[in-house]
Amino acid sequence: MNYRLVVLILLAFAASAAFAQNDRSAVALSGNDMARCTVPDPCRTFDVAISKTNSGGEVVVLSTAGYGPFTVTKSVSIISPSAYHAAMAPTSGTAITVNAPGATVVLRNLYLNSLGADTGVSIRSATIVHIEGLVVNYFGLNAVEITGMISGTAELFVKDVEIRDNGQSGVLLSPASGNAVASIDHGRLERNRIGLAADSGVDVSIRDTVAARNIEINFWFRNGGALPPLRAGVERAIAADTEGGLGFLASDGARVTIRNSAAVRNDEGFRSDSNISGVTTEMMLDHCLAAENFAGGITANNDGTSITVSHSLVARNYSGITAKANGTVRAFGNTVTKNDIGMYVLGGTMRSGGHNFVDGNTTDTSGTITSVPTM
């Protein structure tokens, strides 16, 4: 027998075992980062477990513990079963950084609680990211963000999350280049400065989501930046209880469609606005509710802004539906009642297709309303 050959083969097997990667890795309170990160031999932190996991593999939580911040640079799923409390409580920086161009990343059932850190989840590349069941609290800036220079398209899918008490935005979608496509389903955005803020280069869909008691704005489709105009679709969302602030705001060239949604007990409910000359902002509302907002229920403000509103209830606001400062409102089939002023033209244009029920307001109409024939 060639003993030299046998030795070489054994050394090769030993080297292969030493550098083997896992398809499924694990972390636990009792783990050790010198371990193999397998289920029988778990590691202690996500960063080490990810480093020992094949691209496309998964890291599974085996016990309740605090696991520390981590960075994702490849396709991986980070999964905590609902029976465990997998927490991160960073004192600075970012809890989870995703910088994995072309990868797919899943973050499920993690609890992010800042003890001084700025950002919860920061996505900085053209990555597909699924965020499911996360709780994100008390970060100084943003809870979940897409920012920076993105080459290509970042895709973000957010489902069943609770995002609250963050210093800036609950969700910030603001690429400096490239574009972002985002979907938010069954989210709660509570007591942040802004619930959701989205800029140019973004396509966002929001469904079955509540933004409540955010300090300034619940949903802000602000279209900042020089990328293609923001496009947003909202279905069954609630913007509530922002005292002195706004429920839904579209500004500076955003294009927003909102259906079956409610803005209640804000300073203003639905507002389309622009501070940029020659830029058109469009908000379209159908089967919506604007009620008990302190100032305006539905308002188009400034030149180049428009709101089309149909089959909606506007009640108990100061002004119900308002066209001001060269803004344009198109209204059809709405019920406008119990407001101080029902339909209010204040330097803008109000075009009514008829079938608006305007009754029971302190003043039903003020200003000139243009009747538009229906077909």
Say if 31 falls within a structural domain. Answer: no
Give the tens place of pLDDT for each residue, 63-102: 999 999 999 999 999 999 999 999 999 999 999 999 999 9
Q: How many domains, the chain?
A: 1
Rounded to an integer, the average pLDDT of 98-113 is 98
Give the tens place of pLDDT for each residue, 152-181: 999 999 999 999 999 999 999 999 999 999
Q: With beta carbons less than 8 A apart as the criterion, state whether 269 and 298 touch.
A: yes
User: Could you tell me how far CA 133 lies from the centroid of its own chain?
Assistant: 14
Please return the burial class of 194, using the count of CB atoms within 10 Å of its CB with bins 0-12, 13-18 and 19+: buried
Q: How confident is the model at residue 373 (pLDDT cuts 50, 70, 90)?
A: confident
What CATH number is associated with residue 314? 2.160.20
How do beta strands 363-366 and 217-221 pair?
unpaired
Which residue blocks in the chain are alpha helix, DSSP H?
Answer: 3-18, 46-51
pLDDT of the residue at 259: 98
Give the tens place of pLDDT for each residue, 11-58: 333 333 444 699 999 999 999 999 999 999 999 999 999 999 999 999
Q: Does the structure show a pLDDT above 70 at 8?
A: no
Say if 15 falls within a structural domain. Answer: no
Q: How confident is the model at residue 7 (pLDDT cuts 50, 70, 90)?
A: very low
Q: How confident is the model at residue 125 (pLDDT cuts 50, 70, 90)?
A: very high
Q: How confident is the model at residue 4 (pLDDT cuts 50, 70, 90)?
A: low
Q: With beta carbons less than 8 A apart as the criterion, state whether 191 and 163 touch.
A: no
Say if 10 falls within a structural domain. Answer: no
**DSSP strands (E only) in 99-134:** 104-108, 110-113, 119-123, 128-132
Q: Which residues of 224-249 are buried (b: 16+ CB within 10 A; e: fewer)?
A: bbebebbbbbbebbbbbbbeebbbbb
Rounded to an integer, the average pLDDT of 264-268 is 97
Domain ranges, residue 258 = 59-371
Q: With beta carbons less than 8 A apart as the criterion, state whether 272 and 299 touch.
A: yes
Say if 76 falls within a structural domain. Answer: yes
Please return the burial class of 5, using the count of CB atoms within 10 Å of its CB with bins 0-12, 13-18 and 19+: exposed
Say if 157 falls within a structural domain. Answer: yes
Say if 161 falls within a structural domain. Answer: yes
Give the tens place of pLDDT for each residue, 183-200: 999 999 999 999 999 999
Say if 45 falls within a structural domain. Answer: no
Q: Tell me phi and psi for residue 197, to 5 degrees.
A: -125, 130
pLDDT of the residue at 282: 97
Q: Does the structure show a pLDDT above 70 at 2?
A: no
pLDDT of the residue at 20: 60
313-316, long-range: CB < 8 A, 24+ apart = 313/288, 313/289, 314/289, 314/290, 314/339, 314/342, 315/289, 315/290, 315/291, 315/339, 316/291, 316/292
Say if 16 falls within a structural domain. Answer: no
